């Protein structure tokens, strides 16, 4: 091949590469411009329609939030709510949510600029862990978090935004109860428990109870049983009771151990927590066996056996299902609760951020009681002081 032909070929290749590069830049720029226009129009649409914008600034346990992003029609709200993780919405967001466990590990530089915070905007500190466990896991609020957060969103009733793990609502007659069914029949075993963490105080209580009644422990602290439907069906079909022992006795701290694990699987819950069991929004009447009402584990075990051997008494713990139902709180429900608070009380003035956030969230003595000893169950009285 002659030098002239080689040069012509080289020029042709260069021209082709240049043409491809130019086309790529043009179409990329056009697509970017189109995307920017769409984003701008979307933002203007949200503003025009007065849609409440909730910006999720952190991750959720180092991953994605368990909720679809975008527009949502929340129950009982005439206006829509918009959930996003896009920081470009910061200047227009009505609320910016920070999940406590993820915020703890976030660098200061990754936080939004507080000086540019809009007057109407609320910064929300979100946690569903009790104070001792937050300290144990090393995810409690820091000094830098003071004078930043306007609202606390948590399981505590005195939080600015109250979001429980579950809720009891009015149900239809006979919705989940059949008087012709003996709920004890076909369940040969006594008490089950599933635990992912083996906290010493709780496991000490379980071990003491095992001296008087059969208690089978599953999960990380016992027999392996993946938390899937097969595992829960096994418990539902074979056991009469479920130990809903929380890891700490803290104000209002009652978790999925009661709602998802016990109630949802038609197991009578045996409970230890700091919840107010006289509140029918927390638990239905005559639906749980409160361990803290007994003198010691021996007395508790004696009553468990009485209930197990008396079909009429056992079945009476299911009659609440005639009038009540369980609402399992999902992340969408949580964010809709926040959206409702914003929507029903328009935020025009700047609020006064918490200057004592660490005290409120980390006050062990005010928020929690020492976990009971097996020999002195009823020595623990879960009566607490509320901030609001």
pLDDT, tens digit, for every residue of 315-333? Answer: 999 999 999 999 999 999 9
Order of strands across the sheet with 151-154?
70-72, 81-84, 52-56, 95-99, 122-126, 151-154, 161-162
Whether 98 and 189 map to the same domain: the answer is: no
Could you tell me if residue 213 is inside a domain?
yes
* Residues 151/122, Cβ–Cβ less than 8 Å: yes
Q: Which two tokens stand for residue 362?
A: 């980390």
Could you tell me if residue 56 is inside a domain?
yes
* Residues 152/204, Cβ–Cβ less than 8 Å: no
Residues 6 or more apart whose Cβ sits within 8 Å of residue 335: 54, 67, 72, 81, 83, 97
What confidence category does residue 26 fall into, taking pLDDT thresholds of 50, 70 and 90?
low
- Whether 214 shows a pLDDT value over 60: the answer reads yes
Whether 73 and 117 map to the same domain: the answer is: yes
- Whether 189 shows a pLDDT value over 80: the answer reads yes
Could you tell me if residue 379 is inside a domain?
no
Q: What is the pLDDT of residue 258?
A: 96
How far, in Å, CA of 6 to CA of 325, rounded? 82
Identify the CATH number of the domain in which residue 189 sits. Answer: 3.40.50.11660
Q: What is the pLDDT of residue 350?
A: 61
Tell me the pLDDT tens digit for each residue of 288-301: 999 999 999 999 99
Whether 196 and 275 map to the same domain: the answer is: yes
Which candidate, 186, 195, 223, 190, places its Cα nearest to that of 300? 190
Could you tell me if residue 370 is inside a domain?
no
The tally of domains found in the chain comes to 3
Whether 323 and 199 map to the same domain: the answer is: yes
Half-sphere exposure of 324 (CA within 13 A, CB side): 22
Q: What is the pLDDT of residue 346?
A: 62
Over pLDDT 70: what percentage of the chain?
83
Tell me the pLDDT tens digit for each residue of 127-175: 999 988 888 777 788 889 999 999 999 999 999 999 999 999 988 665 6
Domain housing 14: 1-48
Distances, alpha carbon 47 to alpha carbons 39, 43, 81, 91, 92, in Å? 12, 6, 12, 11, 8
Q: Name the DSSP class of 196.
A: S
Which candidate, 103, 100, 82, places its Cα nearest to that of 92? 82
Q: What is the pLDDT of residue 173?
A: 60
User: Judging by beta carbons within 10 Å of its beta carbon (0-12, 13-18, 19+), is residue 28 exposed, middle or buried?
Assistant: exposed
Q: What is the pLDDT of residue 47?
A: 59
Whether 64 and 178 map to the same domain: the answer is: no
Q: What is the pLDDT of residue 31?
A: 46
Whether 13 and 87 map to the same domain: the answer is: no
Pairing mode of beta strands 215-219, 189-195: parallel
* Residues 294/377, Cβ–Cβ less than 8 Å: yes
Whether 173 and 315 map to the same domain: the answer is: yes
């Amino acid at each position: 091949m002659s030098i002239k032909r080689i040069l012509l070929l080289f020029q042709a290749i260069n021209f082709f590469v240049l043409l491809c590069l130019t086309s790529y830049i043009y179409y990329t720029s056009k697509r970017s411009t189109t995307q920017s226009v769409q984003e701008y129009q979307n933002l203007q649409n949200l503003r025009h329609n007065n849609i409440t914008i909730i910006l999720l600034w952190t991750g959720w346990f180092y991953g994605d939030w368990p909720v679809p992003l975008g527009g949502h029609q929340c129950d009982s709200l005439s206006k829509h709510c918009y959930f996003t993780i896009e920081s470009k919405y910061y200047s227009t967001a009505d609320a910016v949510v920070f999940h406590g466990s993820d915020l703890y590990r976030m660098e200061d530089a990754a936080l939004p600029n507080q000086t540019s915070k809009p007057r109407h905007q609320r910064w929300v500190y979100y946690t569903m862990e009790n104070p001792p466990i937050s300290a144990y896991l090393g995810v409690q609020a820091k000094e830098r978090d003071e004078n930043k957060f306007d609202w606390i969103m948590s399981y505590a009733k005195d939080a600015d935004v109250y979001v429980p793990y579950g809720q009891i609502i009015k149900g239809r007659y006979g919705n989940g109860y059949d008087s012709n069914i003996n709920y004890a029949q076909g369940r040969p075993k006594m008490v089950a428990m599933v635990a992912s963490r083996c906290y010493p105080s709780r496991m000490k209580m379980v071990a003491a109870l095992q001296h008087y009644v059969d208690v089978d422990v599953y999960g990380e602290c016992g027999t392996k049983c993946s938390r899937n439907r097969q595992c829960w069906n096994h418990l539902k079909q074979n056991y009469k009771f479920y130990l809903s022992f929380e890891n700490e006795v803290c104000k209002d701290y009652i978790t999925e151990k009661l709602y998802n694990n016990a109630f949802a699987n038609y197991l009578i819950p045996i409970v230890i927590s700091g919840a107010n069991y006289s509140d029918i929004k927390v638990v239905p009447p005559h639906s749980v066996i409160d361990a803290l009402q007994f003198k010691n584990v021996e007395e508790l075990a004696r009553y468990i056996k009485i209930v197990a051997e008396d079909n009429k008494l056992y079945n009476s713990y299911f009659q609440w299902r005639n009038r009540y139902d369980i609402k399992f709180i999902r992340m969408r429900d949580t964010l809709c609760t926040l959206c409702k608070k914003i929507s029903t009380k328009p935020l025009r003035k700047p609020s006064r951020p918490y200057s004592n956030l660490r005290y409120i969230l980390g006050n062990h003595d005010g928020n929690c009681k020492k976990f009971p000893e097996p020999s002195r169950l009823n020595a623990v009285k879960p009566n607490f002081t509320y901030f609001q």
